[in-house]
Every structure is written in C-alpha cells, then in structure tokens.
C-alpha cells in the first residue's frame, strides 16, 4: 500500500548523552559528516514519503531546522571562493519532500505517544502514517530503507504494523518483547520480561505504521490522562494494548537492517564504525 507521511520524534533531551546534549540536540550528533536524524530522513525519502513531520524540542534552539534550512552567509563565503563542491554539500533538505515542524514542550507532557498526538491533531491526519525515532536509524536494510520494508509488510488497509528487531535471547529483558500469532499479527508487548519468560527474540523499537484507527486510540489515550512527568510517561504501548483489545490489527514486520542506537555513547560510536566500515569498502 502507499504511505506518504511520516512522523519523526526528536524532542527528547537526550539525558543519557550529557553533558554534550546540554548544547547539541542528540539527533544532531554526527555519524560521519551527517547528523543522526538525516539517516532516518533518508530512510523515509527512499520509502517514498512526501511529508515528514519533525517533532522538535522547542528549547533546543532550532538546530534541526537550521540543518535543513539555508545558511546565506556560509553560501556567500563559499561562492566568493568558487568552492562548488562544498556549496553542493549545503543542499541538505531532501528533494520533493515537505518538512513540517511541530514544537513539543517536553517539560509538559512527556512520552512516546505525545508527538503522535500533537501531529495528528494539528494536521488532521486521516491516513496511514509512519512513526520513527530521530536518534536510531537502521542501516543496510533491503533496498536501503527499513521504512520501505515496513510499508511493504502491510497486507491490507485495515492493518497497522510494527517493526520487530531480532536480538539475542539474553538481550530481550532490556526491551519490550513482541508476541505474535501464526499469521504474524501482534498479540501483545511484554515490557522487560525476565529471561525465563522470554518466548520471542523480536523486540519493539517504536517504529510503526499507524492506521487512522490506531492513532485515534493513541490520541484518545494521551488526552484522557493527566500524568506528571515525574510519575508516568505517556506510552505508545498503552495505546497498542487498547487498540488490540478493541479488535485492531497490527502486523509484525521483521527489520532487514542493523539498528543503530545513537541514544547511548556505545551505540553512537558503533554507528560511526558501522557506517564508516560500509562506506570505506565502496
């Protein structure tokens, strides 16, 4: 099926990466000479996405907007020196794709369901929409995009989809374990199961395709609760659970790429090593 809209959540403070994220948005940390988020945007573009809704932290000084925008002074500097190759590198905004910015005050409501709610309500969306995190691209996927893999995994208009990522059994207790039936439909997400309760090695990384029926449940859930950030987060998994209880269908689609978790120092270093090793062999 055709999916042309994507929400990329980028508004967190990135506290696992302090102190560098005190001044640099975690999504703008570099993998090579490009920021982390640009690899996620690239996945969306390769999948045929035409509208990308970037949910940004309004306290981060517009770093993502600046990256995809123009820098007139720098352009004039390079033009004056005839630096054509460097000028070409300033064309960072994806072609034939509309970027929309939605500001989120993370000191108000916080959690994975909030960006979805903000975008759906502001833009009145009523079609299938991809959801990605801005700090964890997938590398080396089939056709270069695990967003494309996810879209191609949808079998019917009434389905949503969730990407499953394969990990070692011993690693499953760190994540939400995906349980599915013989038809590859999600039956539940078990958060951080004990090792003796592990029945699946597919885990949840919050990369989805949301049908209108699913994001209606997510919006309803977010707006009907009043959590203090110190007490509880607004979690997408709560929305999934209610959606499934109401008879909603969510297909589990296995990733074909390597997850680059740039939220931790170790993951970010590994991401640079993976991307560099790949580019150096070409």
Render pLDDT for 4-39 as a digit per residue (tens, 0 to 9): 999 999 988 888 999 999 999 999 999 999 999 999
Whats the size of the chain, residue-wise? Answer: 282
Note the pLDDT tens digit of each residue in 220-274. Answer: 999 998 876 666 788 899 998 999 999 999 999 999 999 999 989 999 999 999 9
Q: Which CATH superfamily is domain 5-280 in?
A: Spore Coat Polysaccharide Biosynthesis Protein SpsA; Chain A (3.90.550.10)
- The residues, ordered by sequence, that sit 6+ positions from 39 with a Cβ below 8 Å of its Cβ are 31, 137, 139, 260, 275
The pLDDT-based confidence of 153 (bands split at 50, 70, 90) is very high
Q: Does residue 147 surpass a pLDDT of 60?
A: yes
Q: What is the mean pLDDT of residues 182-194?
A: 95
Count Cβ atoms below 10 Å from residue 196 Cβ, excluding itself. 6
pLDDT averaged over every residue in the chain = 93
Q: What is the mean pLDDT of residues 56-62?
A: 77
What pLDDT does 233 receive? 84
Residue ranges per domain, the chain? Answer: 5-280
The β-bridge partners of 188 are 179
Q: Does residue 282 surpass a pLDDT of 70?
A: no
Q: Does residue 60 surpass a pLDDT of 80?
A: no
Helix (H) or strand (E) run with residue 105 in it: none
Closest Cα partner for 17 from 264, 267, 276, 274? 264
What pLDDT does 231 receive? 62
Instruction: Say which DSSP state 223 is in.
Output: H
| Beta strands per DSSP E along the chain | 5-9, 30-31, 34-35, 51-57, 98-104, 129-133, 138-139, 159-166, 176-180, 186-191, 202-210, 249-254, 258-259
What is the C-alpha to C-alpha distance for residues 114 and 255, in angstroms, rounded to an integer? 25
N-to-C CA span, the chain: 33
- By mean pLDDT, which of 102-106, 144-148, 153-157, 180-184 is the weakest? 102-106
Structure tokens of 261?
């978790």
């Amino acid at each position: 099926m055709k999916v042309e809209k994507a929400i990329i959540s980028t508004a967190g403070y990135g506290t696992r990466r302090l102190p560098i994220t005190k001044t640099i948005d975690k999504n703008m940390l570099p993998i090579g000479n490009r920021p982390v988020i640009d690899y996620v945007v690239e996945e969306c573009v390769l999948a045929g996405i035409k509208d990308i809704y970037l949910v940004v932290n309004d306290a981060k000084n517009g770093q993502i907007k600046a990256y995809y925008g123009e820098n007139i002074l720098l352009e004039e500097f390079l033009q004056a020196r005839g630096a054509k190759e460097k000028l070409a590198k300033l064309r960072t905004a994806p072609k034939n794709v509309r970027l929309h910015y939605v500001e989120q005050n993370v000191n108000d409501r916080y959690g994975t369901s909030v960006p979805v709610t903000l975008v759906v309500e502001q833009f009145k969306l009523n079609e299938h929409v991809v959801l990605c995190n801005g700090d964890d691209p997938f590398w080396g996927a089939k056709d270069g995009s695990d967003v494309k893999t996810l879209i191609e995994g949808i079998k019917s208009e009434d389905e949503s989809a969730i990407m499953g990522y394969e990990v070692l059994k011993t690693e499953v207790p760190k994540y939400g374990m995906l349980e599915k039936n013989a038809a590859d439909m999600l039956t539940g997400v078990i958060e951080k199961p004990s090792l003796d309760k592990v029945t699946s090695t597919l885990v949840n990384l919050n990369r989805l395709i949301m049908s209108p029926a699913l994001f209606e449940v997510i919006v309803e859930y977010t707006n009907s609760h009043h959590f203090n950030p110190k007490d509880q987060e607004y979690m997408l998994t709560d929305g999934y659970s209610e959606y499934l209880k109401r008879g909603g269908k969510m297909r589990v689609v296995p990733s074909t790429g390597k997850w680059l978790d740039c939220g931790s120092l170790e993951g970010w270093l590994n991401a640079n090593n993976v991307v560099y090793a790949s580019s150096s062999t070409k």
